Structure 1
């Protein structure tokens, strides 16, 4: 069933249920009022007749002769009122009949005590008066002279006469229900159409997003839950758009990496193949063979390094390495690092400087710590020429902080956003042979730092250099994050 019909059905059920409850209550109230007014009216007639009966102290019913009662019943016939009079001996004296008519002993005993009896419908099983052809309602009123019973007046009326207003109320209620249902149908259709129209708009927008259109935005007024849903939909589409753009950027960087990797592999492979062919056909002079073999070894190591970096990154990213963390002094490692990379720095005319205390305690995996710092310094050398690279280490509360600062080409905010992602190169055109040329160095750094429970940050401006900062926390103070 469509939503518009579900809403309409819901509105109609509420309307019909409400009208039914109200109508049932009103009809019950009208029935009670009708019978109560009828009782009061008949009791008034009975009391008036009782006053006449009590006027004669010798024979209380003498004044109520047949002629008077016939005239009285004729007058009350328009109101469908009927009279029966019983004397103090439980004998019906009006209307006179050949057979002896009496009230039941229980009823008469109750009346002798001065209590009156109300009869709602003498067709009911609990009625104290026997059933008649037509259903009657009425009252039995005792006439008392002190404590003595003078007589009993049974004044009754047909139930159909009393319930005539109730029948009219039922007809009016039915008409009101039909009119309410008709009006409710129209109003529920309008309200449901308005609601479903906005939902359909959301559905059409969802289809557009599913087809790849992430520029969809829904106008809303922030007035109800559907507008809130529209607002959340807009936020979702914006997030999907950003995610899609990042995925495309990742794909572009991956394609660029594959192209760079293919280029990097093709060059050494071509060199190696050329040398091997030269050796095979004795095309290389004897004096040049040592240089050719040395070149082939360097190119082979270059290929091995490229493959190892990819394999290493995959292991680190998938938590397939075991960190053996210990407490050690980081300063000697930083000094060794300076010595090992000084030759690469001299090629770029860069100056390396280590600023750290003689004793710099750190809690980390020694080999992986060395790998992190090598990658950071190599990255700084790669993008710095005729500059200075500062390697700084210091202690803070429950942690050791190390930074690598350079005054090289720097990075923009967009580049900083992706700098720790795989395959990303801040400036591929300036990448040189050496560690970091694959675009994996900083991605490896980020993964290793996370597994250590530390953190890594970068600050940079184009043309002003970059500063990479890593924090290794002491044992028990690591800040592990969800991967």
Structure 2
């Protein structure tokens, strides 16, 4: 599809360039012919005056001629016109080759972002369909098995309903995350305003505190007194994701530390845990959509969809920042977010 579109766009580029070139060639040709005719007439006029014994020429000491004739050379004029035409044809031929090469290159540059966006959408739909298929299939299978069970009693029906509600909640959470990721991928709008970093972090800490208390993990928050320029809800979601991940993968009775510092035009915010860490082979992949690290690396983790860090990266990119990660197995992981100063 994009190959055909690129060829069509190239053709339009060539047509536009050559049309402009053709019009300019006509104008240049007419101007040059006018100048040639003017020069020919001027020269003929001067020679005729001289040959006819004009007083001007006699006055400057030139002898008057005996014969009288007119000076005309149509062959020279025709040759000059032919040379002008051939010169313009050569220029336009070269321009046609250049326009073809340049048009093909520019059409590729023009369509490349569109192609990337369409490919991203296709991958998103494919990944989302794959992730949705699993819980839907599990829910459908459970309902079908129970429907065919002749001995299903009221207690069994209630258990089935509870299981179905649990699966439905999982689906709802997955759909919400998919919608969030879709918004950041395709229709991301950031409402920039000056906000207190401590306010943003406070919202995130309050959201994650119940899970931290459940796992007996202490959250140490040191946001400092910094002001960032960005979207309050998105930044709160960013640090909620990082803190939530840190709590999930930390050992019970350990701590998670968030601290901020100013570094060369950026506000650097790090979130460090003391969990099981991530292997060096998996580190480059953790921001990929639906990617989940080996579940065997930690004994106590809650299930996820592999979307949180992908969303976090999109939020950071939307704020013209960067996010990096460092990790050591059995020692912990540190995520560092750099946001530009207002």
TM-score tier by shorter-chain length is 0.5 to 0.7
**In 2, Cα distance between equivalents of 1:442 and 1:425:** 10
1:409 shift after superposition = 1.1
- Partner residue of 1:368 out of 219, 234, 242: 234
**In 2, Cα distance between equivalents of 1:264 and 1:282:** 23
1:347-426 aligned within 5 A:
347-357=214-224, 359-386=225-252, 387-426=254-293
1:326 shift after superposition = 0.8
Corresponding residue number in structure 1 for 2:211: 344
CA contact (8 A) 2:188 2:318 kept: no
**In 1, Cα distance between equivalents of 2:144 and 2:217:** 35
Give the paired residue count. 214
CA contact (8 A) 2:207 2:240 kept: no
Q: In structure 2, do the counterparts of structure 1 residues 292 and 331 end up closer, same or farther at CA, with 3 Å as the change threshold?
A: farther
- Partner residue of 1:304 out of 172, 178, 198: 172
Consecutive unaligned residues in structure 2, runs of 5 or more = 1-122
Secondary structure of 1:404's match? strand
Q: In structure 2, do the counterparts of structure 1 residues 384 and 297 end up closer, same or farther at CA, with 3 Å as the change threshold?
A: same
Specify the structure having the higher radius of gyration (Cα). 1
Q: In structure 2, do the counterparts of structure 1 residues 367 and 382 end up closer, same or farther at CA, with 3 Å as the change threshold?
A: same
- Partner residue of 1:469 out of 333, 336, 339: 336
Q: Deviations over 1:416-437 (max 9, x none)?
A: 1212112221223458545xx1
**In 2, Cα distance between equivalents of 1:331 and 1:312:** 24
Please, what is the CA RMSD of the aligned residues? 3.6
1:457 shift after superposition = 0.8
1:63-102 aligned within 5 A:
none
Q: In structure 2, do the counterparts of structure 1 residues 361 and 304 end up closer, same or farther at CA, with 3 Å as the change threshold?
A: same
1:8-157 aligned within 5 A:
none
**In 2, Cα distance between equivalents of 1:383 and 1:455:** 22
1:379 shift after superposition = 1.5
**In 2, Cα distance between equivalents of 1:269 and 1:399:** 50
- Partner residue of 1:330 out of 193, 197, 204: 197
Q: In structure 2, do the counterparts of structure 1 residues 334 and 268 end up closer, same or farther at CA, with 3 Å as the change threshold?
A: farther
Q: Deviations over 1:316-347 (max 9, x none)?
A: 223x1211111111213322322321222233
**In 2, Cα distance between equivalents of 1:432 and 1:268:** 23
**In 2, Cα distance between equivalents of 1:397 and 1:317:** 29
1:411 shift after superposition = 1.4
1:265-344 aligned within 5 A:
265-267=136-138, 273=143, 283-285=153-155, 296-318=164-186, 320-344=187-211
Corresponding residue number in structure 1 for 2:20: none
Corresponding residue number in structure 1 for 2:326: 459
CA contact (8 A) 1:392 1:402 kept: yes
Asked which structure has the greater RCO (Cα within 8 Å, sep 6+), the reply is 2
Secondary structure of 2:267's match? strand
CA contact (8 A) 1:389 1:405 kept: yes
1:463 shift after superposition = 1.1
Q: In structure 2, do the counterparts of structure 1 residues 301 and 445 end up closer, same or farther at CA, with 3 Å as the change threshold?
A: same
CA contact (8 A) 1:457 1:469 kept: yes
Q: Deviations over 1:389-444 (max 9, x none)?
A: 1122233454322111001111122211212112221223458545xx11111111
Q: Deviations over 1:89-140 (max 9, x none)?
A: xxxxxxxxxxxxxxxxxxxxxxxxxxxxxxxxxxxxxxxxxxxxxxxxxxxx
Consecutive unaligned residues in structure 1, runs of 5 or more = 1-250, 476-483
